[in-house]
Every structure is written in structure tokens, then in C-alpha cells.
């Protein structure tokens, strides 16, 4: 298999992740086109990692590293992925040397899957967006009840699906995050310009109910946004939680 054309692998990290990245990247590099998102990595640290990534990204969406990471995952992955599937994982998880078998076997066994991962969120996604702006941009209100949540420490997405519905994902995120004047940053204004959105910033947020895990207006919450997009496009049956049989450990410290 030509892994570099089959899988795009996205991982982000800062200087505090450097030891984990040194261990992780050599396990990833043979099995896909590795995209490293540098949040606070120094030039010296990047040189140390250079043999084990294909593409370097330096997102500058937000001064806070966690927010910058979330926004990179939401805004860039769908656009940057070229392989049949993309894999997103956090720098602080643990993977065994045979981790790729989990992905290969899942893709072969479930050819219609659009999003899968080894762990399901404790809470379901409960989101209602009901507003004239939602209907104007998306053609209808968005309502998700009891939506399955795949945890973002490690997940695999179908590139064609998320490329097709990238406008939906970006629009939902924009309506939730960018239209609240107290939470917008200069980078968001730039993002809107890049997407050629002509609408001026609204003075009031859209009508929004639900979701008990994070405040989507404040954090973005990239894995919830991705799962929400799948549910919004009525593809809930194509989200799967599949046991990795110990090959991927999202909670290495036992915390969840």
C-alpha cells in the first residue's frame, strides 16, 4: 500500500510536547503524509523532528496555544488533506508500533464509514441552531439530539466527505464562534475575508441551545464540531466507535 497517498496524518504540538513527539513521529512517518502543526516549537526542536514529518504548518489563529490548536483542526484539516482518509491525533496519547493495523482493518471492514475512533465521549451532542442566519446560509435549522461523539485524541475521517461538507462545518463554526463580538479576534476577521464572507459581523449571536461538554462559542471544540457536522448532514450511522484492542491509548495517565 502507498501509505503516503492513502492517509494524511495531522498532529500538533508545542515545546512541552517535544519528548512525546520524538517518540510518536517515527511511529507515524512510515504510514502516511505527516503534517506537523507547530504551536510553540522552537527552530531547534523542529530540526530535531525534521526527519519524521512531511509538511510543517504554523497556524496563528489565536494567541492561546490550545485555542490555536482547536482552530487549526477545524479550519485547516479538511482543506489540507489529500489522501483517502485523514488521521488526527494528539501529541500526548500513546500508540503501539502496530497502531496502523487498527486503521487499515477498520477502513477495510467499514468502507462507508466517514468518522471513527477508539473512544466515545461520555455525553452525546445536543445542539439546536435556529436562526434566520442559519437558514440563510445552510438552508435549514440544525438540530442534533443524542448525537454520538468520537473523542478527538485519535480519530480517522473520510477526506471526500469532509471536503464535500467543509462549507457546512465552517459555517456552523463561524455562526457559533465568530459572530459573538466578545469572542472574535483579528484572526477571525482575516478568516472571514479568506472565505469571502460578505456579511458584516452580527451584533448578537445566533440562537443556540445545548451541548453540555464545552461552550462551542468559547472553545470551538474541534472534535465536537466535526461530529456535529456528520450528524447535521444526516450521516449519523456512518460514525463508529471501534475498539483498538490496546493499540491506541488516548488516556495514558488514566484520566478522562
What would the pLDDT profile of 73-96 be if each residue is shown by its tens digit?
A: 999 999 999 999 999 999 999 999
pLDDT at 253: 74
| Residue predicted with more confidence, 176 or 158 | 158
The span from the CA of 233 to the CA of 255, in Å, is: 32
Average confidence (pLDDT) over 93-100: 97
pLDDT at 39: 86
pLDDT at 189: 55
Q: 203 — phi, psi (to 5°)?
A: -85, -15
Of 37-51, 125-139, 195-209, 213-227, the range with the highest mean pLDDT is 37-51
| Residue predicted with more confidence, 249 or 182 | 249
The ranges assigned to domains in the chain are: 3-249
pLDDT at 186: 47
DSSP string, 163-179: HHTHHHHHHHHIIIIIT
Does residue 225 contact residue 74 with C-beta atoms inside 8 Å? yes
| Whether the predicted pLDDT of 187 surpasses 60 | no
pLDDT at 100: 98
Average confidence (pLDDT) over 128-142: 90
pLDDT at 62: 81
Pair type for strands 154-158 and 85-89: antiparallel
- Report the 10 Å Cβ neighbour count for 226: 24
pLDDT at 175: 82
Question: Which pTM does this prediction carry?
Answer: 0.90
Residue whose C-alpha cell is 461552550 = 215
What would the pLDDT profile of 192-251 be if each residue is shown by its tens digit?
A: 555 655 555 555 667 777 765 456 766 678 999 999 999 999 999 999 999 999 999 998
pLDDT at 192: 59
Average confidence (pLDDT) over 147-152: 95
What is the pLDDT of the chain when averaged over all its residues? 88
Q: Which CATH class is domain 3-249?
A: alpha beta
Of 121-135, 143-157, 205-219, the range with the highest mean pLDDT is 143-157
DSSP string, 137-156: HHSS-EEEEEE--B-TTEEE
| Residue 53 Cα to chain centre, angstroms | 19
Amino acid at each position: 500500500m502507498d501509505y503516503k497517498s492513502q492517509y494524511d496524518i495531522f498532529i500538533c504540538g508545542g515545546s512541552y510536547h517535544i519528548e512525546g513527539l520524538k517518540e510518536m513521529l517515527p511511529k507515524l512517518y512510515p504510514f502516511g503524509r505527516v503534517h506537523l502543526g507547530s504551536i510553540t516549537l522552537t527552530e531547534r526542536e523542529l530540526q530535531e523532528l525534521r526527519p519524521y514529518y512531511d509538511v510543517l504548518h504554523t497556524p496563528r489563529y489565536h494567541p492561546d496555544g490550545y485555542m490555536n490548536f482547536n482552530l487549526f483542526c477545524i479550519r485547516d484539516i479538511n482543506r489540507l488533506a489529500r489522501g483517502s482518509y485523514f488521521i488526527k491525533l494528539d501529541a500526548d496519547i500513546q500508540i503501539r508500533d502496530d497502531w496502523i493495523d487498527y486503521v487499515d482493518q477498520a477502513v477495510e471492514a467499514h468502507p462507508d464509514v466517514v468518522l471513527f475512533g477508539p473512544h466515545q465521549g461520555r455525553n452525546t451532542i445536543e445542539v439546536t441552531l435556529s436562526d434566520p442566519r442559519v437558514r440563510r446560509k445552510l438552508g435549514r435549522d440544525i438540530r442534533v439530539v443524542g448525537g454520538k461523539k468520537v473523542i478527538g485524541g485519535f480519530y480517522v475521517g473520510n477526506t471526500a466527505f469532509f471536503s464535500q461538507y467543509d462549507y457546512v462545518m465552517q459555517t456552523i463554526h463561524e455562526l457559533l464562534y465568530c459572530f459573538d463580538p466578545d469572542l472574535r479576534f483579528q484572526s477571525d476577521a482575516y478568516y472571514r475575508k479568506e472565505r469571502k464572507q460578505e456579511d458584516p459581523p452580527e451584533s448578537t449571536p445566533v440562537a443556540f441551545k445545548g451541548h453540555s461538554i464545552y461552550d462551542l462559542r468559547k472553545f470551538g471544540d474541534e472534535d465536537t464540531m466535526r461530529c456535529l457536522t456528520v450528524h447535521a448532514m444526516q450521516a449519523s450511522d456512518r460514525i463508529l466507535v471501534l475498539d483498538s484492542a490496546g493499540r491506541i491509548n488516548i488516556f495514558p495517565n488514566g484520566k478522562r
